[in-house]
Structures are given as C-alpha cells and as structure tokens.
Amino acid sequence: MNKPTLDEKKISRVVIAGGGTAGWIAAAALSKKLGELLDITLVESAEIGTIGVGEATIPPMRVFHRLLGIDEREFMRATRATFKLGIQFENWGQQGDRYIHAFGKNGRESWLAEFHHFWLEGRVRGIDSEIGDYCLELQAARQGKFATSTQSSINYAYHLDAGLYAQFLRKFSEQYGARRIEGNISGVEQCVESGNITGLRLADGRLVEGDLFVDCTGFRGLLIEQTLHTGYEDWSHWLPCDSAVALQTEGDNAFLPYTRSIAGESGWQWRIPLQHRTGNGHVFCSQHLSDDEACSQLLGGLDGKPLTDPRVIRFRTGRRRKVWNKNCIALGLASGFVEPLESTSIHLVIAGITRLMQCFPYDGISPSTAHRFNRESREELEKIRDFIVLHYHLTRRNDTSFWRYCASMEVPETLRERMELFRDSAYAHQAEGELFRVDSWVQVMVGQGLVPRAHHPLPKLMSTDELSRFLAGLRENIQRAVSPLPSHDAFVRGYCQAEGCLD
C-alpha cells in the first residue's frame, strides 16, 4: 500500500503565522467553532510590529461577532470603540463637494425599480431633495445622533483600536484552547516531495509543526510568497496610491458617528474617532508627493494635539495569484490589499476565515476545494476593487496631475460597464456574492456627480401629487425616527464607556 501524502491525511493541526488583527481573528473563529476538532497554534513575535491602522469597520462584522457569541458592550469597552454609520467623503467629486456613503437603504424600492428611479423622477418634476434625505442612517450621521437596541433596525459598524481588538481576541481565543507561541520565525520547513509546509523554524531553534498553515504575516507574505512563490497581481495602475502616513491625536468627546475621508492633492486623509483618541492618516501616491510633503499636509490638517510621531507605511495594491497554495492559506495583508478607503480590510479577513471554516479540509486537502476557495476570494476582492476605483475615477477634479491621471485612466471592464449602465439608464445592481449593495453604488455615483440620462419609466405612472406625497412621507418618517435619538457621544457614554475615557 502506498504511503499517504499530506494531502490525503486528516488535518488536525493548524498553525497561524503572525498575530495582529488577522491572526487573532483567525484564531478566535477556529477555536470557537472548530476547536474540538483542531489543535490551533499561533506564532507571533512581540519584536515585530503590526500595521495596526485598520480602525474602521463595516456592518458584516456584527454578524461575525454574533457567530462567535461576542458581547457587544464588552467588546466596545475593551477596544474603546465608537459607532459608525458610514463615511463622509469630502472633495472627491470636486473641491468643496461633500456626501455621505451610509450603511442604510435609500427610501423604499418596488419590485420593478429601485427607489432612486422615483427620486430621479421627482427631480425631473421639480421636487427638490437629495438622495440622502431618504436614508435613516445618513440623516442620523449628519445630525451626529445614534442609538440601538434589540428592537432597532439601524445598520451600523464600529470604529475601534486595532491593537486592543487583537488583545481582546487573543484572550477570547485562549479561552477556547488556542495556544500562542512567542517567537521570531527564522525559516519555513517544507516537504521535499510535495513542497507543502511542514513547520515553522523559530530563531531559538524550536520547530512548530502543523498540517495546515495560515499566513498572517502582513505585506511580506512569509509563507505564501517568500516560501511558496505564489506571485502577485499588481493593481497600482488602477489604484496608484502606494504609501500612507499615520498618527494619533487627542480625542474629541463630541465625536461623530462616521469616518471622514478628505481628498487632498495626491490622495486622501482619514479621520476616525475613538473614545480615547482620534486616528489620522494620509494615503498618497509617492510619484506625486514626497514623504515629507505628505507628513506636512497631515500635520497641518489635524484637529487635535498629536500623541504619536508620523509613521510611514509602504504598500502595493493588488492580490496574490492564489490565497490557498498547497497547504497554506493567506489572510489579511498577506493575501492582497486594496487600501482602506471603504474600511474593508478587517472584513476581508473575516470573510476569508469564514470561507475556510465552511470548507475546512478536515479529511485532507483536495484541489477542487482550493480552486473554489481561490476563485471566490478573487471575485470578492475584484468586486471590492472596482468599488474603490470608482471613487478615484469618478472625479471632476483636474487641479493636480494625480487627479487628472485618475479621471483619465482606463478602468476594469467590469467597472466601466457599471458606470455606463448607470449613466445611460440609472441601472445599478448588486452582483451575487458582492459586498456593496445597490444603495452604496448609488450614493457614491450620485455623490460624485454621475447624473443618469434616463431612468425606469415606472414612476412616470404616478401623478406629481402622488409622487410628491410619497417622497415627502418617506422624508418625514425618517426625521421622526432620527429626531428623538440621543447624540452619538451621549449614547456611547451610557452604553459602552471604557474605563478612563470620556471623563
């Protein structure tokens, strides 16, 4: 009888290379849901820092937390989190523009036509309103209000301290049997015959053996790239920003329930309010702006006193050609990067580990499973990429060479088709397995000035009085819902105030 290869053996030992947010999300999910079947080890070194600026999230994170049974208040206190209803984009369409991409739905759609077709018909008939007037979350964000309860349908996410989140998940994971090994990985052992990874060699000589390895080593991709030479597909021609500078400032107790994204001359700045501080950063293109210029622009636009020195981060947008190669699965920055404009970084880690749990190769790794995993991961990231590229390309700015490049560049065919469909007929859609909904596409395209030439004829069947009453009723219902809400900072104080914060 032939000796079984690793691919034919049961998988019981999972080794996660690297900690940080990605590593501990993986450990938390695997230990809680599959811990009785698996031995889970995470290897990280305190000497190796993490990027640690992924502090804004999107609503699917709440589903992940419910899956793991994480208490929201406990999590928010531990990570000094605040609530997030969306992102305010400033100066993206043109200088002086401002709109919010919120997490809620726009109005009320019908079976034949989405709500924005009714809104567009109202504009034609002189009913003056903004698409954001019909979104509860957007109006609450604009007014700085927030509240939630078990009966509430408001859709939200979080601003959080990524470092504290990793600590929170480490404690959670260790309660369910995950084991942490402190050590610097100095080498990766492979099977001579198959090329599969068999163990991680630490600087002190220890060998951590496993059956399946999860690469959470960030941009360097120690396992997926440096060891397995998987290859990388570069997207910098669509997403030319390749650097970021980040720092923290003193917080403002009257913090807003949304992230700010402020477009500059060669990139954009983020502003993320937490209970104890504000996260600030400047994403920029080094071909158009030097590090010193980027730091100067960031420091010149701060609202609070700096708590840290500026830290420059380099990156290259794109994806690994495979995120599952042999017996290694890459998560987080090791798998690819599309920059944090729509706060998708933590979501992609969660999506990746959820996908792995759904098809976990307990009885052995099959090529078909890895192939499907890679295809779904690729399609997911490409759809997110298109949405990010939309923000850059759909601009009327021509004040700098950076924005002129973005406006004139060739975009992916999938994105070009979406923009043409909306421009020609106001048609917007959410593809199968796609993260961003119709409401998101509409808010960004309208917010950045893409005006449809035509829309669905269904609203034309309504009289002007009927359409006016319909639209006014929706606006009034939203204002009635938003009006009694407390301010965001007041709700956070009563719901999840962290020790030593907001005093």
pLDDT (tens digit, 0 to 9) for every residue of the chain, 503 residues total? 444 444 567 899 999 999 999 999 999 999 999 999 999 999 999 876 665 565 999 999 999 999 999 999 999 999 999 999 999 999 999 999 999 999 999 998 788 999 999 999 999 999 999 999 999 999 999 999 999 998 899 999 999 999 999 999 999 999 999 999 999 999 999 999 999 999 999 999 999 999 999 999 999 999 999 999 999 999 999 999 999 999 999 987 789 999 999 999 999 999 999 999 999 999 999 999 999 999 999 999 888 899 999 999 999 999 999 999 999 999 999 999 999 999 999 999 999 999 999 999 999 999 999 999 999 999 999 999 999 999 999 999 999 999 999 999 999 999 999 999 999 999 999 988 899 999 999 999 999 999 999 999 999 999 999 999 999 999 999 999 999 999 999 999 999 999 989 87
Residue 99 three-state SS:
strand
Contact 71, 151 (CB under 8 A): no
Strand 243-250 relative to strand 311-314, pairing: antiparallel
* Residue closest to 212 by CA, chosen among 195, 201, 198, 230: 198
State the residue for tokens 């090994």. Answer: 181
DSSP-H helix ranges across 329-484 = 345-358, 367-393, 401-408, 413-425, 438-447, 464-482
- Given the residues 32, 33, 84, 171, the one annotated as active site: 84
* Domains in the chain with CATH codes: 11-55+161-233+317-365 (3.50.50.60), 107-135+386-482 (no CATH)
Looking at residue 54, its pLDDT comes to 56
Q: What CA–CA distance (Å, rounded) separates 90 from 432? A: 30
Looking at residue 428, its pLDDT comes to 96
Q: What CA–CA distance (Å, rounded) separates 250 from 79? A: 16
202-233 pLDDT, tens digit each: 999 999 999 999 999 999 999 999 999 999 99
Looking at residue 303, its pLDDT comes to 86
Contact 6, 12 (CB under 8 A): no
Contact 61, 207 (CB under 8 A): no
Return all residues near 19 (Cβ < 8 A) that are at least 6 apart: 42, 44, 50, 166, 170, 180, 216
Q: What CA–CA distance (Å, rounded) separates 469 from 477? A: 12
What does pTM read for this prediction? Answer: 0.95
Looking at residue 50, its pLDDT comes to 60
322 noted as active-site residue:
no
Looking at residue 462, its pLDDT comes to 96
Contact 461, 124 (CB under 8 A): no
Q: What CA–CA distance (Å, rounded) separates 323 from 230? A: 8
| Structure tokens, 341 | 């404009």
Residue type, 458: L
Running DSSP on this structure, what letter comes out for residue 6?
Answer: G
| Structure tokens, 131 | 């698409």
DSSP string, 192-251: TTT--EEEEEETTS-EEE-SEEEE--GGG-TTTTTTT---EEE-TTTS---EEEEEEEE-
